[in-house]
Chain A
């Protein structure tokens, strides 16, 4: 692929990106969220059409107008979510749409035989006649790969294939990928797990903000360099960002303590103490378990292990209400899906949590509600300053401020903010950061999550670093620098895995 540019209305998703893929190699495509990985893959597989540039397959220029054409040309894709029919048999899934036919009817026997052949090629010993849904997700994923092979794929694209697999299953997947690679298949691999990328890939291409950062052989690019390439900061050249005031050392009061809290497939058991008056940042790449950790602290998801202790007493977690009652508040990263009640007004959205805590029978008196709403519209500079404006019509930054206010009116002791500044303009961002600092100064414990390391470093007194769904370290006081956080994120698992 040469000089690929793609534009969507209002956005330029990719600009002049070159990408090479050789037969018999595993090539990792790396980049942070929004870097353009998915867009590039979708261009390659014919989902999107490129505006400029060209795609050459075996030297011949090709142009796909749909996924079907790309498949016929030998480019097969396995997506993150298994896109198969759980109610059909393994064989039917593998050959769906390409079943061997006899007298115009599907030849069941031949279908099973062909499927068995393909399963044998990837060394998967399951009965082709069994129902797909009866197998674990990992096996289904492998079946999806077997399906990709039916087209005699010369290019196999794997988008986040390991996100729902455990270590053994990943090993099995990698074994199969190596077999395919040695057969001369070109494999494009996307994953957020650095360890896996280093284990399997031969070559890497890094994208950032829709542009090509570079292409390296895997052994030439160490983890540190990879992380800097992805994040876009040169090590050492990082100016230490300005900070308001001193970093607090944690006080004596533990407001919330997590003891061995964990959830299979989401985050490994961790311990965490939150002290009154401190801001704890959670740093890590996308998919490192930041959000999962935060959701467990709030009871939004159920923990498999461990317990939460708030203000000295253990909490029996039966859902978010259990923690809300103890003064814990959580603002989710997905504003639209988990935060806004889009059709309701600023007033209704702002008092929702407080009203929910009071119960339906004790409405907040209109005058009190109006006073609260007016107070926070002023304090947080929410625009428009009209309590009756429907929240869905506000800008992202103002919506975020209303959601922040929704919790502030409940006067929480612990405030968990997951990506409170994502997708909002610089001015609103600075306002929210200032509010966080002020709240901590008033004695609130704040958990602050952001994909932007500079931001985490700027607002946090203490930073907990996550990688590959586990807590891998903690930095406090003077140690909190972008360099230090990046070093932890990029560190090999052996020396630091025990540090968490």
Chain B
């Protein structure tokens, strides 16, 4: 069942890679130099790390029937906090801890609006999506803050054979997978997402669970913001994490987790994030004019989502079966 759900996203990923190889035959080539791996695929992993990290948090939020639109704004705030601190002479570790602390606090705010005040998640997080950019502007005083700190630039641009950023994201993915599947957290999150009232009556602490999930995604967003800003050694309040919420939500949806909440798939999200990032790269490499890239992206996403829907699956099944029989 779950393998089946991952079929189309995997196919989309494979198709994108084939397309890239056709256009740029050197696409899959990897070079090993100065203890680093280089190549287009490595770039995709490095650039996709922030999206993957946020999509990871988004998977859990969506599993509880929620959504978080404020992730891009939180990323911008985290970057702004870290860079202003470093620019004013602070050390990188403190700067990053400050940034993540503030991110967590913003997550507490989102969680408060959703669980205690009872505002619909899409509206509750829209507040911070809009206001957060303003807060980031306030912190940077409207300037693009550039920093030069070796430790700080490691987060987004550093390598330990593979880019450090993707290692962080993959470690987070593995950590969350272990945490939710080895404890009862995953099952309780799904229960709250599928039927909140039944879960409440069964004694599940749904408020705590949902709240925690919003704090978690905020911290993920904060780390993602640090990665993006460290990669370019600057904090641009206007552009860091811009539209990343859309990429993250798309990654989750492509990965087969339903926006209606409930069953989720972390592996699906990983594949979804790779599809999104490969797509972005492809758009550049095959030379789609920049002004229509978003349209191109939309077409691919709609295609994948349509292919996954039960109705189109039923439509495809009949001819597909005939082919299977013929193949045997």
- The residues of A with any CB-CB pair to B shorter than 8 Å are 298, 300, 319-321, 324, 330, 332, 337-344, 348, 352-353, 355-364, 406
Contact = CB atoms under 8 A, between A and B. Distances in A.
A300 B197 CA distance: 10
B188 A343 contact: no
B118 to A, nearest CB: 15
A481 B209 CA distance: 48
Given A355-B188, A363-B184, A344 B203 contact: no
- Report the contact-size class of chain B (Cβ under 8 Å from the partner): 20 to 34
B183 A343 contact: no
Q: Most chain-B Cβ atoms within 10 A of its Cβ — which of A332, A342, A363?
A: A363
Given A298-B201, A358-B184, 14 more contacts: A320-B200, A337-B198, A343-B263, A344-B187, A344-B190, A344-B191, A344-B194, A344-B262, A348-B191, A356-B202, A356-B204, A359-B205, A360-B184, A406-B202
Given A342-B194, A343-B262, A344-B191, A332 B201 contact: yes
Given A343-B194, A343-B263, A360-B209, A338 B184 contact: no
Interface in B198-232: 198-205, 209
A353 B190 contact: no
8 residue pairs, one from A and one from B, having the closest CB atoms: A356-B203, A324-B203, A356-B204, A363-B184, A353-B202, A360-B185, A343-B262, A341-B194
Contact of A337 (B183, B187, B190, B197): B197
A330 B197 CA distance: 13
A359 B188 CA distance: 9
A357 B203 contact: yes
Contact of B183 (A320, A338, A356, A363): A363
Given A321-B205, A324-B203, A352-B202, A343 B190 contact: yes
Contacts of B318: none
B209 A363 contact: no
Contact of B195 (A321, A341, A359): A341
B311 interface: no
B31 interface: no
Contact of A355 (B182, B187, B195, B209): B187
Contacts of A332: 198, 201
A177 to B, nearest CB: 36
B183 A361 contact: yes
B197 A352 contact: no
Contacts of B195: 337-338, 340-342
Nearest to B191: A341
B291 to A, nearest CB: 42
A415 to B, nearest CB: 14
B201 to A, nearest CB: 5
B191 A320 contact: no
A466 to B, nearest CB: 22
A343 B197 CA distance: 14
A342 B184 CA distance: 18
